[in-house]
Amino acid sequence: MVENSSKPQPLERLTIWPHRSLSPKGFAIVIGLLAGLLFTIGLGFFLAGAWPVIGFLGLELLIVWGAFKLNYRAAKVRETIETTTETLKVEHRDEHGNAAVSEFPVGWLRVQLSPPTAPAPSARYRQRVILSSHGVETEIGAFLHPIEKAKLRHEIDGMVARSRSARDRAAQG
């Protein structure tokens, strides 16, 4: 038996995530070079009779390694934006894999960039891409650079326009 689902099929899907420029191989190279440098420094201190310094150098390496690991874990954040002829759905997955879903009707959806122009580099407030409808709003792309946020807003506007156009064509035909 085949069940006929009235759930609209996705028209477009966009997935965004934070950029990390250092690959795992690059990370291994950086940690290897740092370990070699710290070993050389530690050997010098050991030969000079200041052997307790070696423990602090090891602690330094451990802190740098831990900072990189935390940074890579934060990079696991994903946001998937999906449109149908009726809705725009945002699925936010945090670094632990937990998902939060927001759904908006495309007919009433507003996509805003706040503030509308990129802030000066000296300004400490952040620019936000906000989706809102019927008093409910959600921010997307919080981890993106302001230039990327303006492009994201433009892309989401295009997705919503294409979704509305597909809905109108389906209603006419």
* Per-residue model confidence (pLDDT) at position 124: 47
Q: Give the H or E element holding residue 121.
A: none
Question: Given this model, what pLDDT does residue 47 score?
Answer: 93
Which residues on adjacent β-strands are paired with residue 103?
Answer: 89
Q: pLDDT tens-digit profile of 78-129? A: 999 999 888 999 999 998 889 999 999 988 899 998 877 766 766 645 788 9
% of the chain residues with pLDDT over 70: 91
Higher pLDDT, 6 or 119: 119
CA dist list (Å): 37 to 23, 67, 161: 21, 18, 56
Is residue 164 over pLDDT 50?
yes
- d(CA 102, CA 85) in angstroms, rounded, equals 16
Given strand 128-133, what is the order of strands in its sheet? 110-114, 128-133, 136-140
Provide the residue ranges of all domains of the chain, joining segments of one domain with +. Answer: 12-17+77-172, 24-74
Task: Please tell me the predicted confidence (pLDDT) of residue 159.
Answer: 93
Can you give the pLDDT at residue 4?
47
Predicted local distance difference test score (pLDDT) of residue 2: 44
- Phi, psi (5° rounding) for residue 148? -70, -30
Q: Is 118 exposed, middle or buried (0-12, 13-18, 19+ CB in 10 A)?
A: middle
Record the tokens describing residue 98, joined without a space. Answer: 């937990």
Calpha distance 44→1 (Å, rounded): 77
pLDDT tens for 20-43 read: 888 889 999 999 999 999 999 999
Taking CA 14 as the corner, what is the angle to CA 106 and CA 159, rounded to the nearest 5 degrees?
Answer: 35
pLDDT tens for 37-62 read 999 999 999 999 998 999 999 999 99
CA nearest 111: which of 162, 148, 158, 164? 158
pLDDT at 73: 86
Query: Percent helix, strand and coil across the chain, each rounded to 5?
Result: 40, 25, 35
Tens of pLDDT, residue by residue over 122-161, are: 664 578 899 999 889 999 998 888 778 889 999 999 999 9
Architecture per CATH, domain 12-17+77-172, reads as: Roll (2.30)
Helix axes 24-47, 53-74, angle to 10 degrees: 170
